[in-house]
Structure 1
Amino acid sequence: MWGGNVTAFAGGIAAAGAIVAPSVRNQMTYEQRLASMANTAFAEQNTAGRRTGMRSMDQLIRRSVAVGGGSKETAADTLDTLLASGAVDYTTAEKLLPMLQKYATATEADPKELAQIAIRLKQSFGISDNQIPTALNMVIKSGQLGSFEIKNLAKWLPQQLAAANALGMNGLGDLAVLLGFNQASMISAGSPDEAGNNIVNLLTKINSQDAANSAARIKFNGKGIDLPGTLVRARSKGFTALEAFSGLTDKIVANNPEYQALEKQLKSSTTDSARQEIMQSQAKILEGSAIGQIIADRQALMALVAWRANRQYGNDVIKGVNQQRVLPLSQQSGEQNFDLIKGTNFYKVNQLNNTRDFAQMDAIQPLSDVLGKLSGELNDYAGAYPGLTKALAGAETAIKAMTAAAWAFAGIKFLSSAGAAATAAGTTAAGAGTAAATATRIPGWAGRLGLGRVLAPFAVWQGAEAVPLMQVSRGDAEARARLEKGNYPNDQARMLDALKSRPGLMDAWDEVKSWWASPSNIRVPESANGYPVPPFAQQPAVQTPINITTQLQVDGRVLAEVVNEANGQSAARGPQGGPH
């Protein structure tokens, strides 16, 4: 029984290693991702509870993609971002994920970055779960009203929210102010990243101890400036720290004639380049003023100058985004954008691809389960019998080596045979003493690929990657015998036998099977721990290697060269024997 089992084990291990096609790998990778997220989201539950969580997350991802587009990968990444933050529990994530997928599709933003905004809104700005859809629509509207677009806001807003919260800013109203400052900052900046960074620096500097100390040393109306107190009093009157500091700047520069002259020039300027030059000049004046002492940062000053120079524009942005707060959800910017996008052909095709992707995973699930179970059992068996594992690894290597040898022996014929019928004759199986004659015809593309129906398991083992043009049948044993004798009336007869005798994949398979004797010839040794240990699982005896080198020649020329020449002459003749 051991001989037959070994062959089965060899095929099992080889198949388990090579059958992982893209569709199977896709399903396994997705399952692994769900398991990883379940360990985070359901950490307080046992294994059964986490498996239930995996199924719930799978359904959530499918529903989110169906509602908002994207892909299962982006949805899984976004869900992972939400859960890993610690600010969002699974119940909240179930509400947020479909919306984030939808708004990412509507704005071509990364849903993970939108998730980061939602997380920071909850953590830093006191935004409730019910307010997050409106807050995100305010962000989307801001990108529509200015040149600091949603993708830029998604990158910079999380940092800004944390810095603004340190200044006492929170809620939807303060979010609108921060969005207005971002759009104004973009006007004076050379790039979106510069604009976003300028706002971060301004928020950080206003709240620094250095700024408070510097302000205290500046005399205004005979007294030092109490910067923290000024910001607190402004807050009590409904102004944000940004607005309050801008007002303080107004008072300090009001008596600076040079700065006031630049203000007038700015109001009358109509070109962007001219306005840029004026704002740069204003920043230099501020650097040398009391404001420059309070905020010793060029980037922060540029954000302040941009707001003061474009205050009306910034206020228009604030007003526009605040309108989102009073509109029905269906009329807010993100929803309207999505309504248009979902009618496009690209979106529809993407949704069809998602449907097909999930259907393929569902269809392949049983195979994945079987493959996983088989791999586990084979791995356990390999651990119990390491000698068997070594033998099987050698089998795979040997088959590949014989394949390479067959290519070298008659490669030009393989490339030109184009799937012709192959005949196998008279091969004696080692240890069995039974002659078997088989004839296998490999039609059409299957013949060209070397994938006969009788060798389907072997083709699966190769993973459709090896032996693409190899003949399948055994070489002609009688032709080999005649070649050894060498009695031929002419060179054409010798070449014909040489082509017939070329080795095929069945020769390789016969060689592998011969490594294990038939069941009747295997002696079961003494038991070890109650289990028989077959000899092939034991350490093999060291044997002296036998090296055989065979070279076939025709009139002193290597056979392959003769075959090349013959095939070249054949190719030059047409189907009726004449030239093409």
Structure 2
Amino acid sequence: DLAKAMEYAPVAAKFVIGQGSDGGETAKMINALGQNAQITSAKEMQQALEAIAFQGQAGSFEASDMAKWFPELLANMGKLGITGMDAVTQLGAMLQVQMKTAGSSDEAANNLKNWMDKISSSQTVDAYGKAGIDYEASMQTGIQQGMSTLESSMALAKKYIEQTDPKRAAKMAEATAQISKESNPEKAKAMLASLEQALRTGDIFSDMQVKAALTAYMQNKELYGQLKRESREASGILDKNLAERRETSSQKWKEMAQSMDDAMRSVGDAI
């Protein structure tokens, strides 16, 4: 409603200008944060946007891209029962992790979307059952240990591979550790290709996008945890970025032109 929109307007404007985000997409994201993540106060909304801005600068998936993708992905998070700041910090961190193996923000977001669509499908549940894993019970165990549904699904996938093919799982664990330590980008890329090949098991992870989402998480699990923790405590990012953007001459001219338009509109209305 109007009162709520006016309450969010100042922080929304800071985000749009400071992060170089589209106004319409930012509005849709704020609406999704309210409807799907159940963030309903101006204070919580500022905290959420601070976290998103922090995530955008900590990784390659920029805040402006998050404004584009958050509405759809927050709906998926809501279906998994993940709301509030947990939804914001986990989704932001997961998107940054997905960028490690994706060629673009759209590809990274689509990989994660496909993973979330896949994890609760009847096909997935049946595949776990055939491997001797009780999907529902295992997911509940992960949740009881403090993991969200999304995090638990990733951990369960690792368990699935370990149970269906222990040798391959051991090789994957070794490869993942080596990739994390490798400083040469070309070598890391080659090692990552080998790891992706190892995940082609012909089963529930044979889908390329689903496989890519799991690979990215397994390779960057520590980074995911770090970004999730740090973004929750982020503050002052919006004001800092707003000040930096206003220092650029283009933004100053843009704001002056807007002021002139407003002034002329006021004169026109008065006449």
- TM, length-normalised to structure 1: 0.43
Structure 2 partner of 1:310: 220
Residue 210 of structure 2 corresponds to 300
1:130-169 deviations in whole A, cap 9, x for unaligned? 3111101100100000011112211222211111221121
- 1:358 matched to 2:251: no
Structure 1 residues 135 and 280: CA distance shift in structure 2, 3 A? same
In the alignment, does 2:32 pair up with 1:128? no
Structure 1 pair 349/302, CA: closer, same or farther in 2 (3 Å)?
same
Partner in structure 2 of residue 239 of structure 1: 147
- Distance (Å, rounded) in 2 between the aligned partners of 1:236 and 1:162: 23
User: 2:74·2:87 contact (CA, 8 Å) conserved in 1?
Assistant: no
Q: Following the alignment from structure 1 to structure 2, what is the Cα–Cα distance between the partners of residues 262 and 237?
A: 27
> What is the distance in 2 between the residues matched to 1:273 and 1:157?
31
Alignment partner of 1:119 out of 24, 28, 31 = 31
Q: Distance in 2 between matches of 1:341 and 1:136?
A: 17
Gap change, CA 1:349 and 1:265, over 3 Å in 2: closer
Contact 1:279/1:306 (<8 A) preserved:
no
Going from structure 1 to structure 2, the CA distance change for 1:106 and 1:263 (only over 3 Å counts) comes to: closer
More helix by share: 2
Distance (Å, rounded) in 1 between the aligned partners of 2:245 and 2:175? 45
- With 101-110 and 356-365 compared, the bigger mean Cα shift is at 356-365
Change (3 A) 1:232 1:165: farther
Q: 2:66 is matched with which residue? A: 153
Displacement of 1:186 in angstroms is 0.2
Corresponding residue for residue 194 of structure 2 = 281
The aligned amino acid for 1:91 is A
Could you tell me which amino acid in structure 1 is paired with residue 147 of structure 2? F
Q: Look up the SS of the partner of 2:25 in the other structure.
A: helix
Counterpart among 211, 214, 220 of residue 127 in structure 2:
214
- Map 1:238-387 to 2 at 5 A: 238-254=146-162, 255-256=166-167, 257-288=170-201, 293-324=203-234, 327=235, 332-365=236-269
- Name the CA distance, whole Å, in 1 between partners of 2:37 and 2:179: 35
Instruction: Using the TM superposition, give the Cα deviation of residue 261 of structure 1 relative to its aligned residue in structure 2, in angstroms.
Output: 4.1
Do residues 193 (structure 1) and 117 (structure 2) align? no
- Kept after mapping to 1: 8 A contact 2:199/2:211: yes
**Distance in 1 between residues matched to 2:207 and 2:67, nearest whole Å:** 24
Query: Relative contact order, CA 8 A, sep 6+: which one is greater?
Result: 2
Residue identity in the other structure for 2:221: R
SS in 2 for 1:287: coil
Whole-angstrom CA distance in 2 between matches of 1:227 and 1:279? 28
**1:209/1:252 Cα in 2 relative to 1: closer, same or farther (>3 Å)?**
closer
Aligned to 1:100: 12
What is the alpha-carbon root mean square deviation over aligned residues?
A: 2.0
- Closer/same/farther in 2, CA of residues 242 and 276 from structure 1, 3 Å limit: farther
Long gaps (5+) in structure 2: none
Q: Secondary structure at the match of 2:81?
A: coil
* 1:246 alignment partner AA: M
Could you say which residue in structure 2 is the equivalent of 1:229? 137
Q: 1:243 to 1:366 in 2, by over 3 A?
A: closer
2:18·2:238 contact (CA, 8 Å) conserved in 1? Answer: yes
Q: Specify the code of the residue in structure 2 equivalent to 1:350.
A: K
After superposition, give the CA deviation of every residue in 1:435-474 in whole Å (9 maximum; x if it has no partner). xxxxxxxxxxxxxxxxxxxxxxxxxxxxxxxxxxxxxxxx
Residues 167/287 of structure 1: CA separation in 2 closer, same or farther (3 Å cut): farther
1:1-37: per-residue Cα shift (whole Å, max 9, x none)?
xxxxxxxxxxxxxxxxxxxxxxxxxxxxxxxxxxxxx
| Deviation string, structure 1 residues 308-346 (Cα, Å, up to 9, x no partner) | 11122222211220112xx4xxxx211221123234443
- Aligned-pair CA distance for 1:268: 4.1
Shift of 1:296: 4.3
Residue 146 of structure 1 aligns to which amino acid in structure 2? G
Amino acid at match of 2:216: A
CA distance in 2, matches of 1:319, 1:366: 52
How many residues of Structure 1 are paired with residues of Structure 2 in the alignment? Answer: 265
In 2, the alpha carbon distance for the partners of 1:231 and 1:310 equals 21
Superposed CA offset, 1:22-60 (max 9, x none): xxxxxxxxxxxxxxxxxxxxxxxxxxxxxxxxxxxxxxx
Spell out structure 1 runs of 4+ moving beyond 6 A: none
Q: In the aligned structure 2, how far is the partner of 1:366 from the partner of 1:244?
A: 61
SS, match of residue 321 in structure 1: helix
For 1:118 and 1:196, locate their aligned partners in 2 and report how far apart those are by CA, in whole Å.
18
Counterpart-to-counterpart distance in 2, 1:170 and 1:264:
32
Are the structure 2 counterparts of residues 265 and 340 from structure 1 closer, same or farther at C-alpha, using a change threshold of 3 Å?
closer
CA spacing shift, 1:183–1:344, aligned 2, 3 Å: same
Select the structure of larger CA radius of gyration: 1
How many Å separate the matches in 2 of 1:146 and 1:95?
30
The separation in 2 between residues aligned to 1:341 and 1:268, in whole angstroms, is: 36
Q: Aligned partners of 2:91 and 2:262: how far apart in 1?
A: 41
**Whole-angstrom CA distance in 2 between matches of 1:342 and 1:270:** 37
1:203: how far off?
1.0
Give me the whole-angstrom Cα distance separating, in 1, the residues matched to 2:259 and 2:230: 38
Answer yes or no: is the 8 Å Cα contact 2:177–2:219 preserved in 1.
no
The separation in 2 between residues aligned to 1:102 and 1:199, in whole angstroms, is 28
